[in-house]
Amino acid sequence: MSDLERLDRFLRTDPRDVGCDEATSILHVYVDLVAAGEDAAGRYPGVAAHLLACGPCSEDFAGLLLAVTSG
């Protein structure tokens, strides 16, 4: 990926992005789908778009997924 593409990728916004509040409110549902190998992003595209763009929510997602899959 070129430098300009990296900058462009950061600046691009996805109108499906639901924001932190909504993504957080159903994070447990999303994580269970991912853990079960189901199409979480297909069922909740706005959450998937948000997790791609929001570092803190992405960290919460990673932590919760690890928690439920590590037993």
Partner 1 sequence: MECARLPAKGLDEESAGWLRRLGADGGERQAAERELHARLIRIALAEVRRRSAGTPVAGQELDDVAHQAAGDAMLAILRKLGDFRGESRFITWAYRFVILEVSAKLGRHYWRGTPVALDAGQWERLPDRFGIDPARHAEAAGVLAEVRRVVDEELTAHQRRVFVAIVVDGTPLDALAAEMGLRRNAIYKVIFDARRKIRRALVANGYLEEPGLERR
Contacting residues toward partner 1, per CB under 8 A: 3-4, 6-8, 10-15, 17-22, 24-29, 31-32, 35, 44-47, 53-57, 59-60, 63-64, 66-68, 70
Three-class DSSP category at 31: helix
60 exposed, middle or buried (CB, 10 Å; 0-12, 13-18, 19+)?
A: middle
Residue 37: CB minimum distance to partner 1, A: 15
54, 20 Cβ separation under 8 angstroms: yes
Residue 32: CB minimum distance to partner 1, A: 4
Nearest CB to partner 1, comparing residues 6 and 39: 6
